Chain A
Amino acid sequence: MNGDRQGDPEIVAEDLVKRFGSFIAVDRVSFSVARGEVLGFLGPNGAGKSTIIRILCGLLRPTAGRALVAGIDVARDPERVRERIGYMSQKFSLYRDLSVEENLKFFGGIYRVPRHDLPERMRFAIDMAGLAGREKALVSTLAGGWQQRLALGCAVLHRPPILFLDEPTSGVEPTSRRRFWDLIHSLAAEGVSVLVSTHYMDEAEYCHRAALINQGRLIAIGSPEELKRTALRGELLLLECETLGPTLAAVEHAPGILDCSVFGSALHVLVADANQSLRDLPVHLEQKNLPLVRLRRIHPSLEDVFVQLIAIDSAKRRVAA
């Protein structure tokens, strides 16, 4: 999967800063994306993901720092960058009063796709979006998943080596989301570099690398495995119990506990030493008369990692402020 990623990175962000008045939307963010790599941007809504993507597309001017896309400084020559990128904005931005085919033709014209290639490229985009037979349908009549896939089709019509996808799967049903990620990976396999943002934490697993953004700052970046291994400074236990509330309160104040959060009908408990806690916790709860159903060690999901990292980061900021 990582085999053909080589050469100079296609996207480079160096200490990017974006201020809107006194609000710091992006705070010294640096990262890079290699050729054929899928980098996922994760983080809560309003974390600054869209702002970073817009800076890289040349839609916003960074307050400080440098953005290089395809080796070109975006602030200096945005037009040359625009010929080499495809962009899907967070808000759906195809023409709803135009048909599938008319939208594709429009973007084919705007990107000056060679005329003799256009029919074949349009065919590819239509097939990719699963819209064969609905070429004449107005976009406003399509369901969300189809609209998003068509938007991706329009974004790749001119075969850009770099793709920026801003929350392409938001509002899309789960099966369509899965399909969307398959499309992204087939493009990456052909060498396209993809920067994709999402607020679905589970989608990080589909990325080669994931970057976690919180309140304008990049707080972790790495492959899903790396993140799981290193980001949590502790080990994770799953605790099933009968009374969630009182148990949570009790566990939080037990010795050796770093953090505790509700996860479905159980608790995820982050501890400094798993073996120690596996012995001590049942005793601690027994003393408080809180029955324990099950306690075992688990491997953290990326969601655990992110919830944890965001909680730690937000706490640090509160202390700093």
Chain B
Amino acid sequence: MTRLTAVLGAGVALLFAASLLTGPAEIGVGDSLSALLLGGDTPAAMVMREIRLPRALLALMIGGSLGLAGAAMQGYLRNSLADPGLIGVSGSAALGAVLSIQTGVAGAVAFSLPAFALGGALIGVFAVLALAGPRGTSLTLILAGIAISALAGALTSLVLNLSPNPFAANEIVFWMMGSLADRSMVHVGIAIPFIAIGAFMLARLARGLDALTLGEDAAAAMGISLRSLRLTLVFGTAAVVGASTAVAGAIGFVGLVVPHILRPFVGARPGALLWASALGGAIMLLAADIAVRLILPERDLKLGVLTAIVGAPLFLHLIYRTRREGL
């Protein structure tokens, strides 16, 4: 367990450094690091501090968020096919962002896009809780999440459908693919409070999620408040996923695949999986964000497209393995 943490931590550190050293501006390793640490008015310092550092930080934060939220969601629903997007937050955050692009507010007012997306996530999470109730079973939460996701998806399609402006429609489509290109330290500043609070909430669920291994009734009899567990899960997930979607767009498969891969390494304990999965998510997203810059440097390959292309076959393989074990 501690060895796993050390390996994953080293992987995160290594990939974070690699992310800082990857980019079209050919800056040597020594020059990059001195420019990053010492600053100054050189172009290298600008590139390092204004372009690469926020990008690497966002990959770290968002990857960690998605991994953590995925592990928490799978632990709560006791289903390894659950995904943090299941409760409809990413869908409603995307709808908020799309509305800001479509209405032109995003172009007129700086950083209104992430603000709209966060607003969308907030409305989405309250709609889900209003539908599912604070003390229903996990099934009602899934159904409410599916309903809100479907509604947000339909409204997003409606906006695209009726868009009189092909440029806005184009921008929406590209934004929805998810990317960390051209983000600034302001994006980091917008996301960090929500991600910090959400991650703190989700990390506190370990004991309750462990108890849920025995089912809701046994967990409740051991003194776990299912009501507060559910509220903490929903608000924690909404905070980290809403903030992630607001600054990076929709990035799929990280929250689904990472907990699934790491589960055997923590002895399947849902509580221990939380942090392992956060580190694993950061690794996956840092690696994917390096890959999009190396594979097609001049074509702006979108991060969400890559995670889906890599994640879907990986997931199919996992399902195949699960099926074979089931026989």
Q: Tell me whether A and B are bound partners.
A: no
The interface of chain B, by Cβ under 8 A from chain A, is none
